[in-house]
Structure 1
């Protein structure tokens, strides 16, 4: 079985803001110390909606990488790379497209949602229809076991699993596979071999998922097996196919939904965002001019935090004591709106101080970012090439 590996990416379509940090980057930072992680800038994906105006992509790509580093992504722990610099992504996307049913792409929930939400753009393109398949290639090419996502992205992961399963079923045929698998079983030793076959029967005949998990654990502990024999035994457990592509699991992440300055979702297009490396003076001005409870026309009017966008920020940035102070002060008109906003300002400025410090070295010397990406692309491409060798062989394209 392939080792645990996390893969995730972001499209470079504009300045990163605090919503990105609380929604995704904080989870990335936590995961990078727990297991191998690959994080990539999905510049090809940016073209699915910005194909007619690609000028923003290059600058946004480098800005995004600086933002990641500023936020705390550590290149000594995680692999950072740019999607288009690993051309194997495109090759796997092409090959997967040959056998992926059109209906699978058309039923992705976000496909119709995006068309409705971006009605000002012509999205009747092959690239936009196929973007979930490119997403699948981005993950499957690294045989990732986990993809950090929110609830709305789970259907994409399910489709990735279906694509991997379909590929393995269609192309994971190896001449003499069962005979080779039984030879590999013997290498486990008599006791483990007997247990392996019992667990295989328990899973295939009785549908016992715990039998599959137990067999996986046993194979992972079998140090004497070669990689190819291990692959065969994993495939033999679930059928009579060799596992070429790994079915990734959705790693549901806890995301703090950071609202924008007007209470809506934080978004650059709404003009309600605070960028990840915003100037202190700008942060102060933006928060101080935020709209508040419309019922508080005068300083002496009592308010209701539930109808105030500032309260949504307090829920993310303030501790319980501060929130209690806000509720009491607002509902009794004991504090004014400017007073209420100050703890939020202080918390955002404090959060951003180390980001500015970490970013400065990369702003002073952009070659540092280029070097990190070059190393990351090399690492990612080696992994991608290993997968593509197996894919080409399975599809009869490994000409000699």
Structure 2
């Protein structure tokens, strides 16, 4: 049965391999048999960039070009700009009255992000209420399926809590609960092996990376620090090179053979990195070239975003009307 899919990315920089393996590939596959909406989340990008808004505004078309370059088709997937959908901000305000501050502070995803960004006591209110805004995004499109990484599962849980509260206020089901759709690959670690791949941590390989950038990133990838000589047996666990081979190399039998050889001894890191680099160069070259062509046609990108957003306005306003009706706030229709 077809689903209504809602997904998106913060417009804080070009997308990277973590996005690609985490959800972009899924979106390309899902668009043929489902009603799919994709948000370029510029408003949510401001939650930790409010004093540096150009970081968001200058990346809106970068993110859109990444979407198109990997195969998301605007004739099959509706691509919207979050800040151009007024219903989302209004829904966020209504939902905020149903969620306590302590509940937001208990959200594991928010707690982890606050720690990683080292906000201390200076947490922007918009960042703390990020789960409410995300709930508004999902429910405004009546999405019943959301592609996410496992780190986003608490966000889905909180969205469904809000859905149930709104439905209780309305006395009937006006919003639908959503289910997470996890990718087959766990979160992709950064090239340094210390944390997840992230633009802000500087350990990400973007979809538009040049040949030299790919080569340099693979060269510095974390492997097994105890694998000092080619003849030494090596460890696969925590070895970023093999994690990336599992995620991206099309020949699973070859990768399994490399693992066996590496663990036995006699296979050097440079050889394994060479195989990974060749794989990534081949995979990213056409994406990079398509991305460059799309970015060169700004008018076309604006048109795609305008058309998709216009459709999104109609969809989200319909949901907003129902929620306002539940709160008894449709006096001036």
What is the TM-score with the length of structure 1 in the denominator?
0.75
RMSD of aligned alpha carbons: 2.4
Separation in structure 2 between the aligned mates of residue 10 and residue 53 of structure 1, nearest angstrom: 18
Higher helix share: 1
Separation in structure 1 between the aligned mates of residue 97 and residue 226 of structure 2, nearest angstrom: 59
Q: Structure 2 matches for 1:369-384, cutoff 5 A? A: 369-384=301-316
Partner of 2:208: 277
Separation in structure 1 between the aligned mates of residue 228 and residue 16 of structure 2, nearest angstrom: 31
SS at match of 2:276: helix
Distance 1:309 1:368, change over 3 A: same
In the TM superposition, what is the alpha-carbon distance from 1:98 to its structure 2 partner? 2.9
Separation in structure 1 between the aligned mates of residue 147 and residue 263 of structure 2, nearest angstrom: 39
SS at match of 1:117: helix
Distance 1:337 1:86, change over 3 A: same
Q: Structure 2 matches for 1:196-211, cutoff 5 A? A: none
Separation in structure 1 between the aligned mates of residue 178 and residue 50 of structure 2, nearest angstrom: 29
Separation in structure 2 between the aligned mates of residue 270 and residue 40 of structure 1, nearest angstrom: 23
Distance 1:103 1:321, change over 3 A: closer
In the TM superposition, what is the alpha-carbon distance from 1:333 to its structure 2 partner? 5.5
CA contact (8 A) 1:115 1:123 kept: no
In the TM superposition, what is the alpha-carbon distance from 1:146 to its structure 2 partner? 1.6
Q: Structure 2 matches for 1:196-275, cutoff 5 A? A: 241-264=171-194, 265-275=196-206
* Deviations, residues 126-173 of structure 1 (Å, cap 9, x unaligned): 222221111111111112122222333222222222212221222x2x
SS at match of 2:79: strand
* Deviations, residues 322-358 of structure 1 (Å, cap 9, x unaligned): 2344345545664443322222111111111221232
In the TM superposition, what is the alpha-carbon distance from 1:301 to its structure 2 partner? 3.9
In the TM superposition, what is the alpha-carbon distance from 1:88 to its structure 2 partner? 0.9
Distance 1:324 1:360, change over 3 A: same
* Deviations, residues 217-251 of structure 1 (Å, cap 9, x unaligned): xxxxxxxxxxxxxxxxxxxxxxxx33222222333
What is the TM-score with the length of structure 2 in the denominator?
0.89
| Aligned: 1:396 with 2:317 | no
In the TM superposition, what is the alpha-carbon distance from 1:102 to its structure 2 partner? 3.7
Q: Structure 2 matches for 1:172-191, cutoff 5 A? A: 172=170
Separation in structure 1 between the aligned mates of residue 259 and residue 327 of structure 2, nearest angstrom: 64
Q: Structure 2 matches for 1:95-244, cutoff 5 A? A: 95-120=94-119, 123-170=122-169, 172=170, 241-244=171-174
Separation in structure 2 between the aligned mates of residue 108 and residue 308 of structure 1, nearest angstrom: 30
Distance 1:341 1:379, change over 3 A: same
CA contact (8 A) 2:149 2:187 kept: no
Mark the runs of 5 or more structure 1 residues left unpaired by the alignment: 173-240
Aligned residues: 328
Separation in structure 2 between the aligned mates of residue 294 and residue 101 of structure 1, nearest angstrom: 46
